[in-house]
Amino acid sequence: MDNLLKHLTNFKFGGSAKKIITAESEIELIATLKDLKFKKAKYYILGGGTNIIANDKGYKGTIVKISASGLKIENQKILCEAGLPLRKLVNAANSAGLSSLETLAGIPGTVGGAIYGNAGAYGREISEFLKKVKIFDGRKIKWVFNKDCKFGYRESVFSAKGGKKPWVILAAEFYLPKGGAQKLAKKSKEIIKIREKRYKPGLRCAGSIFKNVLAKSGKIPAGLLLESIGAKGMRIGGVYVPRQHANLIVNNGRGKAEEAKKLIDILKQRVYRKYGIRLKEEVQYLGF
Ligand SMILES: Cc1cc2nc3c(=O)[nH]c(=O)nc-3n(C[C@H](O)[C@H](O)[C@H](O)COP(=O)(O)OP(=O)(O)OC[C@H]3O[C@@H](n4cnc5c(N)ncnc54)[C@H](O)[C@@H]3O)c2cc1C
Protein backbone atom coordinates (compact mmCIF):
# COMPACT_ATOMS: atom_id res chain seq x y z
CA MET A 1 0.00 0.00 0.00
CA ASP A 2 1.35 3.40 -0.96
CA ASN A 3 -0.77 5.29 1.63
CA LEU A 4 -1.31 8.09 -0.89
CA LEU A 5 -3.76 10.74 0.34
CA LYS A 6 -4.84 11.44 -3.20
CA HIS A 7 -6.70 8.14 -3.15
CA LEU A 8 -8.67 9.26 -0.10
CA THR A 9 -9.66 12.77 -1.17
CA ASN A 10 -12.08 13.97 -3.81
CA PHE A 11 -9.64 16.67 -4.98
CA LYS A 12 -7.11 13.88 -5.67
CA PHE A 13 -4.20 15.75 -4.12
CA GLY A 14 -1.79 14.45 -1.54
CA GLY A 15 1.38 12.47 -0.99
CA SER A 16 1.85 9.58 1.43
CA ALA A 17 0.69 9.40 5.01
CA LYS A 18 2.87 7.54 7.50
CA LYS A 19 -0.02 5.22 8.21
CA ILE A 20 -3.71 4.91 7.37
CA ILE A 21 -6.10 3.18 9.74
CA THR A 22 -9.70 2.59 8.71
CA ALA A 23 -11.92 2.28 11.77
CA GLU A 24 -14.94 0.14 10.86
CA SER A 25 -16.58 0.28 14.28
CA GLU A 26 -16.78 2.56 17.30
CA ILE A 27 -14.84 0.05 19.42
CA GLU A 28 -12.05 -0.08 16.83
CA LEU A 29 -12.01 3.71 16.57
CA ILE A 30 -11.74 4.31 20.33
CA ALA A 31 -9.02 1.67 20.66
CA THR A 32 -7.10 3.33 17.79
CA LEU A 33 -7.45 6.82 19.28
CA LYS A 34 -6.38 5.64 22.73
CA ASP A 35 -3.37 3.88 21.27
CA LEU A 36 -2.36 6.97 19.26
CA LYS A 37 -2.73 9.12 22.37
CA PHE A 38 -0.65 6.70 24.42
CA LYS A 39 2.10 6.82 21.78
CA LYS A 40 1.72 10.63 21.54
CA ALA A 41 1.38 10.07 17.82
CA LYS A 42 0.17 12.73 15.43
CA TYR A 43 -3.11 11.91 13.67
CA TYR A 44 -5.80 13.36 11.44
CA ILE A 45 -9.47 12.34 11.34
CA LEU A 46 -10.83 11.78 7.86
CA GLY A 47 -14.41 11.18 6.77
CA GLY A 48 -15.14 11.01 3.07
CA GLY A 49 -12.27 13.35 2.16
CA THR A 50 -14.58 15.59 0.13
CA ASN A 51 -13.61 18.87 1.76
CA ILE A 52 -9.85 18.43 1.91
CA ILE A 53 -6.73 19.78 0.24
CA ALA A 54 -4.01 17.31 1.18
CA ASN A 55 -0.35 18.29 0.91
CA ASP A 56 1.56 16.71 -1.97
CA LYS A 57 4.47 16.27 0.45
CA GLY A 58 2.23 13.92 2.44
CA TYR A 59 1.40 13.75 6.13
CA LYS A 60 3.88 12.68 8.78
CA GLY A 61 1.26 11.07 10.96
CA THR A 62 -1.59 8.59 11.00
CA ILE A 63 -4.80 9.12 9.07
CA VAL A 64 -7.77 7.71 10.93
CA LYS A 65 -10.51 7.13 8.41
CA ILE A 66 -13.92 6.85 10.01
CA SER A 67 -16.04 4.16 8.42
CA ALA A 68 -18.45 2.98 11.14
CA SER A 69 -21.80 3.41 9.45
CA GLY A 70 -24.63 1.97 11.56
CA LEU A 71 -28.12 3.42 11.18
CA LYS A 72 -31.27 2.90 13.24
CA ILE A 73 -34.67 4.54 12.79
CA GLU A 74 -37.29 4.53 15.54
CA ASN A 75 -40.40 6.59 14.86
CA GLN A 76 -39.07 10.15 14.34
CA LYS A 77 -35.65 9.41 15.78
CA ILE A 78 -32.62 8.52 13.67
CA LEU A 79 -29.43 7.33 15.27
CA CYS A 80 -26.44 6.90 13.00
CA GLU A 81 -22.69 6.55 13.14
CA ALA A 82 -20.29 9.22 11.88
CA GLY A 83 -18.92 7.21 8.98
CA LEU A 84 -22.33 6.77 7.37
CA PRO A 85 -22.36 8.44 3.94
CA LEU A 86 -24.65 11.48 4.17
CA ARG A 87 -26.39 10.21 1.03
CA LYS A 88 -27.52 7.09 2.93
CA LEU A 89 -28.84 9.16 5.83
CA VAL A 90 -30.83 11.37 3.46
CA ASN A 91 -32.25 8.37 1.58
CA ALA A 92 -33.19 6.58 4.80
CA ALA A 93 -34.91 9.67 6.22
CA ASN A 94 -36.81 10.24 2.97
CA SER A 95 -37.95 6.60 2.79
CA ALA A 96 -39.11 6.71 6.41
CA GLY A 97 -41.14 9.84 5.67
CA LEU A 98 -38.96 12.04 7.84
CA SER A 99 -38.28 15.51 6.51
CA SER A 100 -35.64 18.30 6.72
CA LEU A 101 -32.66 16.38 5.34
CA GLU A 102 -34.01 16.05 1.79
CA THR A 103 -32.30 19.22 0.52
CA LEU A 104 -28.91 17.88 1.63
CA ALA A 105 -29.14 15.25 -1.11
CA GLY A 106 -26.07 15.30 -3.30
CA ILE A 107 -23.65 16.66 -0.68
CA PRO A 108 -20.87 14.07 -0.69
CA GLY A 109 -19.03 12.81 2.38
CA THR A 110 -19.99 11.34 5.72
CA VAL A 111 -22.38 12.38 8.49
CA GLY A 112 -19.37 13.15 10.77
CA GLY A 113 -17.80 15.46 8.18
CA ALA A 114 -21.14 17.18 7.61
CA ILE A 115 -21.60 17.82 11.34
CA TYR A 116 -18.02 19.09 11.69
CA GLY A 117 -18.64 21.82 9.10
CA ASN A 118 -22.42 22.11 9.57
CA ALA A 119 -22.92 21.25 5.92
CA GLY A 120 -25.93 22.67 4.18
CA ALA A 121 -27.61 23.43 0.91
CA TYR A 122 -30.82 24.93 -0.42
CA GLY A 123 -31.60 26.80 2.77
CA ARG A 124 -31.05 23.99 5.26
CA GLU A 125 -28.20 22.86 7.47
CA ILE A 126 -27.56 19.45 8.99
CA SER A 127 -27.67 20.94 12.51
CA GLU A 128 -31.32 22.02 12.33
CA PHE A 129 -32.97 18.83 13.61
CA LEU A 130 -29.87 17.29 15.12
CA LYS A 131 -30.58 16.53 18.77
CA LYS A 132 -27.20 15.47 20.07
CA VAL A 133 -23.78 14.28 18.97
CA LYS A 134 -21.80 11.44 20.50
CA ILE A 135 -18.13 12.25 20.76
CA PHE A 136 -14.85 10.94 22.12
CA ASP A 137 -12.95 13.72 23.86
CA GLY A 138 -9.64 11.87 24.10
CA ARG A 139 -10.55 10.25 27.41
CA LYS A 140 -14.26 9.63 27.54
CA ILE A 141 -17.26 9.09 25.32
CA LYS A 142 -20.00 11.65 25.89
CA TRP A 143 -23.08 13.18 24.28
CA VAL A 144 -23.05 16.87 23.38
CA PHE A 145 -26.45 18.52 22.97
CA ASN A 146 -27.16 20.66 19.92
CA LYS A 147 -26.93 23.99 21.75
CA ASP A 148 -23.45 23.07 23.02
CA CYS A 149 -22.26 22.21 19.50
CA LYS A 150 -22.18 25.98 18.74
CA PHE A 151 -23.40 25.51 15.20
CA GLY A 152 -23.04 28.49 12.92
CA TYR A 153 -22.73 28.98 9.20
CA ARG A 154 -20.37 26.16 8.09
CA GLU A 155 -18.91 25.87 11.58
CA SER A 156 -19.34 24.13 14.90
CA VAL A 157 -17.54 23.55 18.17
CA PHE A 158 -15.83 20.67 16.35
CA SER A 159 -14.30 22.91 13.68
CA ALA A 160 -13.55 25.82 16.01
CA LYS A 161 -9.89 26.82 15.99
CA GLY A 162 -9.35 24.66 12.92
CA GLY A 163 -10.53 21.54 14.73
CA LYS A 164 -7.84 21.82 17.39
CA LYS A 165 -10.19 20.40 20.02
CA PRO A 166 -9.46 16.67 20.01
CA TRP A 167 -13.14 15.77 19.74
CA VAL A 168 -14.00 12.98 17.39
CA ILE A 169 -17.60 12.65 16.27
CA LEU A 170 -18.78 9.07 16.75
CA ALA A 171 -22.50 9.22 16.13
CA ALA A 172 -25.49 11.52 15.95
CA GLU A 173 -29.13 11.49 16.92
CA PHE A 174 -31.72 13.37 14.86
CA TYR A 175 -35.36 13.99 15.66
CA LEU A 176 -37.11 14.83 12.42
CA PRO A 177 -40.54 16.19 11.53
CA LYS A 178 -42.85 13.91 9.54
CA GLY A 179 -43.26 14.37 5.80
CA GLY A 180 -44.50 12.44 2.81
CA ALA A 181 -41.93 9.88 1.66
CA GLN A 182 -42.68 10.28 -2.04
CA LYS A 183 -42.58 14.07 -1.91
CA LEU A 184 -39.26 14.03 -0.03
CA ALA A 185 -37.68 11.59 -2.48
CA LYS A 186 -38.89 13.73 -5.39
CA LYS A 187 -37.36 16.87 -3.85
CA SER A 188 -34.00 15.12 -3.35
CA LYS A 189 -34.06 13.81 -6.91
CA GLU A 190 -34.73 17.30 -8.28
CA ILE A 191 -31.89 18.77 -6.23
CA ILE A 192 -29.44 16.08 -7.34
CA LYS A 193 -30.34 16.81 -10.95
CA ILE A 194 -29.58 20.53 -10.51
CA ARG A 195 -26.38 19.79 -8.59
CA GLU A 196 -25.06 17.40 -11.22
CA LYS A 197 -25.07 20.22 -13.74
CA ARG A 198 -22.78 22.19 -11.46
CA TYR A 199 -20.70 19.31 -10.16
CA LYS A 200 -20.32 16.69 -12.87
CA PRO A 201 -19.91 13.25 -11.26
CA GLY A 202 -16.21 12.54 -10.76
CA LEU A 203 -15.18 16.21 -10.76
CA ARG A 204 -11.93 16.54 -8.75
CA CYS A 205 -12.84 19.32 -6.34
CA ALA A 206 -14.00 20.09 -2.80
CA GLY A 207 -17.22 21.93 -3.58
CA SER A 208 -17.25 25.64 -2.74
CA ILE A 209 -13.78 26.79 -1.78
CA PHE A 210 -14.79 29.84 0.27
CA LYS A 211 -17.58 30.52 2.73
CA ASN A 212 -20.11 33.15 1.82
CA VAL A 213 -19.59 36.42 3.67
CA LEU A 214 -21.84 37.21 6.62
CA ALA A 215 -22.53 40.94 6.52
CA LYS A 216 -24.99 43.11 8.45
CA SER A 217 -27.10 43.36 5.30
CA GLY A 218 -27.20 39.55 4.91
CA LYS A 219 -25.13 36.86 3.23
CA ILE A 220 -22.90 37.98 0.35
CA PRO A 221 -22.20 35.02 -1.96
CA ALA A 222 -18.44 34.51 -2.24
CA GLY A 223 -19.08 33.49 -5.86
CA LEU A 224 -20.33 36.98 -6.72
CA LEU A 225 -17.24 38.66 -5.26
CA LEU A 226 -15.01 36.17 -7.03
CA GLU A 227 -16.76 36.60 -10.34
CA SER A 228 -16.30 40.36 -10.12
CA ILE A 229 -12.53 40.04 -9.71
CA GLY A 230 -12.33 37.83 -12.80
CA ALA A 231 -11.90 34.46 -11.07
CA LYS A 232 -13.67 32.43 -13.73
CA GLY A 233 -11.15 30.83 -16.05
CA MET A 234 -8.14 31.61 -13.85
CA ARG A 235 -5.63 28.79 -13.89
CA ILE A 236 -2.35 27.79 -12.27
CA GLY A 237 -0.73 24.64 -13.66
CA GLY A 238 -3.29 21.87 -13.44
CA VAL A 239 -5.89 23.67 -11.33
CA TYR A 240 -8.48 26.15 -12.54
CA VAL A 241 -11.68 28.02 -11.73
CA PRO A 242 -14.33 26.72 -14.12
CA ARG A 243 -16.45 29.05 -16.26
CA GLN A 244 -19.71 27.95 -14.61
CA HIS A 245 -18.79 28.50 -10.94
CA ALA A 246 -16.46 31.21 -9.59
CA ASN A 247 -16.27 29.69 -6.09
CA LEU A 248 -14.89 26.38 -7.28
CA ILE A 249 -11.42 25.08 -8.02
CA VAL A 250 -10.99 21.96 -10.12
CA ASN A 251 -7.99 19.68 -10.47
CA ASN A 252 -7.62 18.54 -14.08
CA GLY A 253 -5.88 15.40 -12.83
CA ARG A 254 -2.34 16.74 -13.11
CA GLY A 255 -2.83 19.57 -10.60
CA LYS A 256 -0.91 20.02 -7.35
CA ALA A 257 -2.19 21.00 -3.93
CA GLU A 258 0.41 23.79 -3.91
CA GLU A 259 -1.11 25.20 -7.09
CA ALA A 260 -4.60 25.14 -5.56
CA LYS A 261 -3.24 26.89 -2.47
CA LYS A 262 -1.53 29.53 -4.59
CA LEU A 263 -4.70 30.13 -6.59
CA ILE A 264 -6.69 30.44 -3.34
CA ASP A 265 -4.22 33.04 -2.03
CA ILE A 266 -4.43 35.09 -5.24
CA LEU A 267 -8.24 35.01 -5.19
CA LYS A 268 -8.25 36.11 -1.53
CA GLN A 269 -5.81 38.95 -2.23
CA ARG A 270 -7.82 40.23 -5.20
CA VAL A 271 -11.11 40.22 -3.26
CA TYR A 272 -9.42 41.95 -0.34
CA ARG A 273 -7.89 44.60 -2.58
CA LYS A 274 -11.21 45.36 -4.26
CA TYR A 275 -13.63 45.07 -1.34
CA GLY A 276 -11.56 45.00 1.88
CA ILE A 277 -13.23 41.63 2.61
CA ARG A 278 -11.18 38.69 3.79
CA LEU A 279 -12.64 35.50 2.32
CA LYS A 280 -12.38 32.44 4.55
CA GLU A 281 -11.85 28.94 3.24
CA GLU A 282 -14.59 26.37 3.65
CA VAL A 283 -12.13 23.74 2.46
CA GLN A 284 -9.78 22.19 5.07
CA TYR A 285 -6.02 21.74 4.72
CA LEU A 286 -4.34 18.47 5.62
CA GLY A 287 -0.62 18.33 6.25
CA PHE A 288 0.22 21.99 5.64
C1 LIG B 1 -18.88 18.16 -5.44
C2 LIG B 1 -18.97 18.67 -4.02
C3 LIG B 1 -20.08 19.39 -3.63
C4 LIG B 1 -20.19 19.87 -2.31
N5 LIG B 1 -21.32 20.56 -1.96
C6 LIG B 1 -21.46 20.98 -0.67
C7 LIG B 1 -22.66 21.66 -0.26
O8 LIG B 1 -23.59 21.87 -1.04
N9 LIG B 1 -22.74 22.07 1.03
C10 LIG B 1 -21.74 21.84 1.94
O11 LIG B 1 -21.90 22.21 3.11
N12 LIG B 1 -20.60 21.21 1.55
C13 LIG B 1 -20.44 20.76 0.29
N14 LIG B 1 -19.28 20.12 -0.09
C15 LIG B 1 -18.17 19.96 0.86
C16 LIG B 1 -18.17 18.60 1.61
O17 LIG B 1 -18.86 17.63 0.89
C18 LIG B 1 -18.79 18.72 2.98
O19 LIG B 1 -18.05 19.62 3.74
C20 LIG B 1 -18.86 17.36 3.69
O21 LIG B 1 -19.78 17.47 4.75
C22 LIG B 1 -17.52 16.88 4.21
O23 LIG B 1 -17.68 15.56 4.70
P24 LIG B 1 -16.48 14.48 4.65
O25 LIG B 1 -16.94 13.27 5.37
O26 LIG B 1 -16.03 14.28 3.26
O27 LIG B 1 -15.40 15.24 5.50
P28 LIG B 1 -13.81 15.30 5.21
O29 LIG B 1 -13.59 16.06 3.96
O30 LIG B 1 -13.24 13.94 5.31
O31 LIG B 1 -13.34 16.17 6.45
C32 LIG B 1 -13.72 17.53 6.58
C33 LIG B 1 -13.35 17.98 8.00
O34 LIG B 1 -14.17 17.29 8.94
C35 LIG B 1 -13.36 16.62 9.90
N36 LIG B 1 -14.06 15.37 10.25
C37 LIG B 1 -14.58 14.47 9.38
N38 LIG B 1 -15.19 13.48 10.06
C39 LIG B 1 -15.05 13.77 11.38
C40 LIG B 1 -15.45 13.12 12.59
N41 LIG B 1 -16.14 11.98 12.60
N42 LIG B 1 -15.12 13.70 13.78
C43 LIG B 1 -14.42 14.87 13.81
N44 LIG B 1 -14.01 15.53 12.69
C45 LIG B 1 -14.33 14.98 11.50
C46 LIG B 1 -12.02 16.38 9.22
O47 LIG B 1 -10.96 16.26 10.15
C48 LIG B 1 -11.90 17.65 8.36
O49 LIG B 1 -11.37 18.70 9.11
C50 LIG B 1 -19.15 19.62 -1.40
C51 LIG B 1 -18.03 18.89 -1.80
C52 LIG B 1 -17.94 18.41 -3.10
C53 LIG B 1 -16.73 17.62 -3.51
pLDDT tens digits, residue range 56-71?
999 999 999 999 999 9
Phi first, then psi: what are they for 4, rounded to 5°?
A: -70, 130
Task: Answer whether 114 contacts ligand 1 (Cβ < 6 A).
Answer: yes
Task: Report d(CA 191, CA 197) in Å as an integer.
Answer: 10
The closest alpha carbon to 112, from 139, 161, 149, belongs to: 149
Q: Could you tell me where in the chain the CATH 3.90.78.10 domains are found?
A: 213-286
The protein residue whose alpha carbon is closest to atom 17 in ligand 1 is 108
The closest alpha carbon to 92, from 204, 176, 201, 18, belongs to: 176
Task: Answer whether 163 contacts ligand 1 (Cβ < 6 A).
Answer: yes
CA 133 from chain centre, in angstroms, equals 16
| 128 DSSP β-pair partners | none
Provide the CATH topology of domain 5-66.
3.30.43
Confidence of residue 1 (pLDDT cuts 50, 70, 90): low
Q: Could you tell me where in the chain the CATH 3.30.43.10 domains are found?
A: 5-66
Task: Report d(CA 190, CA 209) in Å as an integer.
Answer: 24
Which position has the higher pLDDT, 2 or 271? 271
pTM exceeding the 0.85 threshold for the entire prediction: yes
pLDDT at 166: 78
Specify the ligand 1 atom closest to the Cα of 119: 11
Sheet holding 141-145, edge to edge: 71-74, 77-81, 168-175, 130-136, 141-145
How wide is the angle at C-alpha 197 spanned by C-alphas 54 and 247, nearest 5°? 45
pLDDT at 258 over 90: yes
Task: Answer whether 23 contacts ligand 1 (Cβ < 6 A).
Answer: no
Q: Could you tell me where in the chain the CATH 3.30.465.10 domains are found?
A: 71-198
- Under a CB-based contact definition with an 8 Å cutoff, are residues 128 and 100 in contact? yes
From ligand 1's centre to the CA of 210, what distance in Å? 13
| Average pLDDT over every residue of 225-238 | 98
- Under a CB-based contact definition with an 8 Å cutoff, are residues 93 and 72 in contact? no
Task: Answer whether 119 contacts ligand 1 (Cβ < 6 A).
Answer: yes
pLDDT, tens digit (0-9, with 9 covering 90-100), for 73-109: 999 999 999 999 999 999 999 999 999 999 999 999 9
| Average pLDDT over every residue of 182-191 | 98
pLDDT at 126 over 70: yes
The torsion defined by the Cα of 157, 131, 69 and 205, in degrees rounded to 10, comes to -50
Q: What CATH number labels 213-286?
A: 3.90.78.10
pLDDT at 101: 98
DSSP reduced 3-state for 251: strand
DSSP reduced 3-state for 130: strand
Q: What CATH number labels 71-198?
A: 3.30.465.10
| 65 DSSP β-pair partners | 22, 46
- Under a CB-based contact definition with an 8 Å cutoff, are residues 264 and 254 in contact? no
| Average pLDDT over every residue of 214-225 | 94
